[in-house]
């Protein structure tokens, strides 16, 4: 990546697909005409087909009023660009693909190859009445063959697929988030007049708790509005170890790019620009891996373009 070297493979059969995100090394693709979802193995070019997201079924009456209203007003289903992350649940055979829907939808749907439709996950304990039935979530992650999601205050939920598809609380941080003085004042830092605080924790699933982490060791974390990544600096030595990189969007508002948890020091924001198609890109081109990733983790915003593999979208049909 530091030399901008890349390998291009032409797959004519997939020219009508959009690359939306990745899960466990597989690319999640969306067919722009049929709305079908598929997984592409970029090494073998093997494709696994899933149903179209034009058909979503709730197994129980949903409390998510906003989502139910959306489905009533949009009988053709959701758009592929509402997908904000994916996970694979290996507790089923074949594994189940779980998709996270972003913005106003804020829900999860899942399906296996051969299914006739996608199924809506009941939000269970993660339901927030103040959000008109929308759950507040930050990320979807596959770990140990199961899918987990985190809420803004740090609560962790398991995406349970059966017998009732729902979010099951693993770690409850709501009381801590609302408790006055819960934040450790020694962890605060100020950059450019903006005071911030970054807390790193390891999730102990068996113990149902969060364990504070003071160092990332040889890893670096990339934190975006839509994706988060943990990168090994042994594999990619151009990335700074024991560092937390903010995505493009956060860099603009927080006024720093990299935070070093051990020294509690922060570095100035990266420089970005707009290319000819008005997509946000690193100012220096070609760019290094870390500069590319801070844009990638914030890919779902108004300046990121419709998808990764198309410059622009036009009506098809």
- Residue 198 pLDDT greater than 50, yes or no: yes
174 and 38 both lie in a single domain:
yes
Q: Summarize the confidence of residues 147-170 as an average pLDDT.
A: 88
19 and 160 both lie in a single domain:
yes
pLDDT reported for residue 315:
39
pLDDT tens, residue by residue, 60-93: 665 555 556 656 655 666 777 778 789 999 999 9
Total-model pTM: 0.81
215 and 93 both lie in a single domain:
no
pLDDT reported for residue 279:
72
Most confidently predicted of 102-106, 187-191, 252-256, 298-302:
252-256
pLDDT tens, residue by residue, 208-258: 999 988 899 999 999 887 678 899 999 999 999 999 999 888 888 888 899
Closest C-alpha to 53, from 99, 103, 4, 15: 99
Q: Is residue 6 part of a domain?
A: no
SS3 content of the chain, % helix, strand, coil (to 5): 15, 35, 50
22 and 171 both lie in a single domain:
yes
Contact 100, 134 (CB under 8 A): no
pLDDT reported for residue 126:
60
Last residue of a domain, one of 182, 204, 237: 182
168 and 23 both lie in a single domain:
yes
Q: Is residue 3 part of a domain?
A: no
The token pair at 140 is: 């979807």
Q: Summarize the confidence of residues 117-128 as an average pLDDT.
A: 74
29 and 127 both lie in a single domain:
yes
59 and 105 both lie in a single domain:
yes
The token pair at 215 is: 């160092």
Averaged confidence pLDDT in the chain: 79
Q: Is residue 110 part of a domain?
A: yes
pLDDT reported for residue 316:
41
90 and 177 both lie in a single domain:
yes
Closest C-alpha to 293, from 282, 307, 305, 283: 282
pLDDT reported for residue 76:
65
69 and 175 both lie in a single domain:
yes
25 and 169 both lie in a single domain:
yes
215 and 133 both lie in a single domain:
no
Q: Is residue 201 part of a domain?
A: yes
Contact 206, 144 (CB under 8 A): no
Last residue of a domain, one of 157, 182, 207: 182
Q: Is residue 113 part of a domain?
A: yes
pLDDT reported for residue 29:
92
Number of domains forming the structure of the chain? 2
Q: Is residue 97 part of a domain?
A: yes
pLDDT tens, residue by residue, 134-143: 556 767 888 8
Q: Is residue 277 part of a domain?
A: yes
Give residue 301's domain range: 183-317
Q: Summarize the confidence of residues 169-190 as an average pLDDT.
A: 67
| Cβ count near 290 (within 10 Å) | 22
Last residue of a domain, one of 135, 156, 182: 182
Give the strand order in the sheet containing 36-40. 17-23, 26-31, 36-40, 47-52
pLDDT band at 179 (very low <50, low <70, confident <90, very high): low
What is the CB-side half-sphere exposure of residue 241 using CA atoms within 13 A? 9
- Residue 177 pLDDT greater than 70, yes or no: no
140 and 189 both lie in a single domain:
no
């Amino acid at each position: 990546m530091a030399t901008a070297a890349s390998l291009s493979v032409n797959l004519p059969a997939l020219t009508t697909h959009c690359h939306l995100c990745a899960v466990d090394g597989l690319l999640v693709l969306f067919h722009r005409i049929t709305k079908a979802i598929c997984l592409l193995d970029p090494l073998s070019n093997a494709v696994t087909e899933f149903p179209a997201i034009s058909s979503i079924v709730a197994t129980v009456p949903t409390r998510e009023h906003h989502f139910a209203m959306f489905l009533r007003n949009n009988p053709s289903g959701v758009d592929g660009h509402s997908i904000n992350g994916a996970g694979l649940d290996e507790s089923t055979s074949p594994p189940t693909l779980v998709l996270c829907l972003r913005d106003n939808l804020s829900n999860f749907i899942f399906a296996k190859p051969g299914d006739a439709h996608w199924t809506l996950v009941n939000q269970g304990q993660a339901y927030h009445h103040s959000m008109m039935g929308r759950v507040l979530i930050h990320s979807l992650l596959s770990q140990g063959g199961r899918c987990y999601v985190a809420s803004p205050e740090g609560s962790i939920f398991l995406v349970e697929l059966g017998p009732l598809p729902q979010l099951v609380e693993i770690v409850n941080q709501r009381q801590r988030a609302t408790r006055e003085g819960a934040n450790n004042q020694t962890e605060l830092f100020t950059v450019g007049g903006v005071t911030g605080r970054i807390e790193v924790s390891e999730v102990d699933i068996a113990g149902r708790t969060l364990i504070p982490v003071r160092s990332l060791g040889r890893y670096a974390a990339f934190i975006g509005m839509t994706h988060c990544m943990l990168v090994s600096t042994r594999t990619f030595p151009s990335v700074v170890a024991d560092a937390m990189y903010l995505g493009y969007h956060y860099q603009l508002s927080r006024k720093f790019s990299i935070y070093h948890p051990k020294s509690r020091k922060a570095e100035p924001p990266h420089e970005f620009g707009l290319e000819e198609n008005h997509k946000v890109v690193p100012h220096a081109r070609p760019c290094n891996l870390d500069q590319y990733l801070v844009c990638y983790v914030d890919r779902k915003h108004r300046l990121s373009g419709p998808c990764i593999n198309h410059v622009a979208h036009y009506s098809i049909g």
